[in-house]
Amino acid sequence: MPDTPFTLRHDDNGTEAVVSVAGTDVAHYVYRPDTPVEESPKPYLYPLRTLSGAPLGVYRPWDHRWHKGLQMTWSHLSGDNFWGGPTFEDGAPGHGYVWRENHGTQLHRAFDQNTTTEDTELTLREHLDWVASNDDRWLTEVRTLRFHSADPARGIWALDFGSDLTNVHDGALHMGSPTTHGRPNAGYTGLFWRGPRAWTDGDVIGADDHEGEDLMGARVPWAAIASDHDEIDGGATVLALAGTSSADVPLTWFARSKQFAALNPSPAFDTEIKLAPGETLRLRHRFVFIDRRTARRELEPLAAEFTL
């Protein structure tokens, strides 16, 4: 598979890294965001683009201001909210969401030296602290972003996202989601992608013949959303490989497009992870960005090609 080199530049303020390939800025990794505390400040990838420059994400949509492209989150972490917005509490009035002063923050500490392999891929290795709402450090994270497999002839590039989360708190951490706290089919937590507004009602396609809303809660190796763009002709596809988790809890898909387009290989969809002091949770995921709208017949061999 022919690969095209990635290049990297940092902005002058030391807040974001811009990754380019074939003359297109395909990803901005904002690692020191200017985010209100109510949105649980955290690094994010936005803008995200195909190799032709078409948009692949949304930033602070009116319905969920804390959604920002592709980002690592945790919606329920021992009572704190590293997701953003209100916290779901079973039995609470209305829809069960309550605004609390419980928002955690992910703080960028440093990058390791950037590495390349044969000048065709780029890896960022980052160190972060997860700081709770009481200012205690609960987790340290080593995060790896590997940009690779850029192929302009096929209109494809890929991102591997690795996260090693170590409990540095003095007690066990309980890592869950709204579903583990009582809301069915709301198991969003972990690495979460929110698609452009134009992708609402896009095609949701998954492994083992899963399609549409029946992919929600499925435990299959891959899921994808394909749709058309606003403003520019054509469409694109985001293919996500669930990957692996070191926890006993199986990775489970939070995937939808009816309300908005989203893909999330949730590590704690309906079962909490209990992370003991000193223990590390290791997650490995892959996203493949395709510069055209694809159907199942093309996605299945691509998923096999890019399997983790």
Q: What is the pLDDT of residue 91?
A: 87
Per-residue model confidence as pLDDT tens for the chain (308 residues): 468 999 999 999 999 999 999 999 999 999 999 999 999 999 999 999 999 999 999 999 999 999 999 999 999 999 999 999 999 999 888 789 999 999 999 999 999 976 665 579 999 999 999 999 999 999 999 999 999 999 999 999 999 999 999 999 999 999 999 999 999 999 999 999 999 999 999 999 999 999 999 999 999 999 999 999 999 999 999 999 999 999 999 999 999 999 999 999 999 999 999 999 999 999 999 999 999 999 999 999 999 999 99
Q: Tell me how crowded residue 258 is: count the other CB atoms within 10 A of its CB.
A: 12
Q: With b meaning 16 or more CB within 10 Å and e meaning fewer, what string describes 179-193?
A: bbbebeebbbbbbbb
Q: What is the pLDDT of residue 118?
A: 58
**Gap between the Cα atoms of 200 and 295, Å rounded:** 17
Q: What is the pLDDT of residue 144?
A: 98
Residues for the chain: how many in total? 308
Q: What is the pLDDT of residue 93?
A: 85
**Gap between the Cα atoms of 198 and 154, Å rounded:** 23
Q: What is the pLDDT of residue 142?
A: 98
DSSP E strands, 168-279: 173-176, 190-194, 203-206, 222-228, 235-245, 252-256, 262-266, 273-275
